[in-house]
Amino acid sequence: MSQVQPLLTPVKLGDYELKNRVVMAPMTRDRADNAELAPTHLHVEYYAQRAGAGLIVTEGSQVSRQGVGYVNTPGIHSPAQVAGWKKVTEAVHARGGRIFLQLWHVGAVSHPDFHGGALPVSASAFDPKAKMYVPAGVQKDTVPARALSTDEVKQVVQDFAQGARNAIAAGFDGVEIHGANGYLIQQFLRDSSNQRTDLYGGGIPNRARFLFEVVEAVVQAVGAGKTGLRLSPTNTYNNPADSDSQALYDYVIAKLNDHGLAYLHLRDAAGPVSGNNQVEDVTGHYRRIYRGTLITNTGYDRDKGNQAIASGRADLVAYGVPFISNPDLVERFARGAELAKADPATFYSPGPKGYTDYAPLAAAAVA
């Protein structure tokens, strides 16, 4: 494509000027296969290969041991983890990239086998009714979580703040708070999983209190220009919809305007939505409400991404699976080249296969 594509134009995001508007979306890949759950040399190679993105957002990284719910996922709460991530950020920066770390706590989406037999924690005694792979390598059913006490909620807020400080110490350009996909923050937001009677339960402002305490603590720790937030208003994976989804997310996203974040990252609906007053066009609806920098995600290809930027639907577009099999995705977009297909069988398997062994674009492979 000879004409400049909107996706490939610079954009200001928080404290930074990005070289393009293509974002590598956060994707769990299960490669931290060591006792410390720390990034390895494979993570260094994987993220460095994809430094052509305007912004990389890493896979979710636990802010505490309590936040673990999947095998071999890296954290950001120990010296070994910080040291491992520092090698990643140095490699990405050496190739001219920008990288944010996603701060993660899975809450109820876990199993006692990850916690020495102790129950996972959540807003309430919530069971996501899912099957989890546990450290022994077998699948087990989730169980009802233990409700965090009011004081424990305050500690988790501080865990997010410390995770953000650790990320900056590891050389990250900023952090993305994971408030999506049915994990702990979303478990507090929705009345399907939050039946608390203290200041974190009841009406929408109370259920949103935990999210905003996390946002405020992280902003205080690292600055608003280095803080993003991901939400998935229509997602029901791990967590049923709120009784009034639009009212909940209208409140939350309008209130985010007061915080001056680097960005809001929204997942569009993956398919048709119904019931519970859910918004069908997530990005379109919330573009009218949110006044800051907006990243959209879910189901975009190159042409749809360019249209989203050109129309003002969003400021940046995040791509997930295309970045797995196309480490040079931005170059392929620029050349109008065909994309390589990803192999789902290797998304979560150990080692380099399906992780760092996808070939970059050959000069002749241009559409």
pLDDT for 215: 99
Neighbouring C-alpha atoms within 13 Å toward the C-beta of 167: 34
Residue range 205-219, pLDDT digits in tens? 999 999 999 999 999
Residue where the block lists tokens 């478990």 = 187
How distant, in Å, are the alpha carbons of 162, 301, 323 from that of 219? 11, 32, 29
pLDDT for 363: 44
Residue pair 23/319 in contact by the 8 Å Cβ criterion: yes
- Per DSSP (E only), the strands in 146-262 are 146-147, 174-178, 227-231
Secondary structure of residue 224 in the 3-state scheme:
helix
User: What residue ranges define each of the domains in the chain, with the CATH number in brackets?
Assistant: 6-346 (3.20.20.70)
Low-confidence ranges of the chain (pLDDT < 70): 1-2, 363-367
pLDDT for 1: 44
pLDDT for 262: 98
pLDDT for 361: 87
pLDDT for 4: 86
Which residues are designated catalytic?
Answer: 183
Residue 17 in tokens: 């000027």
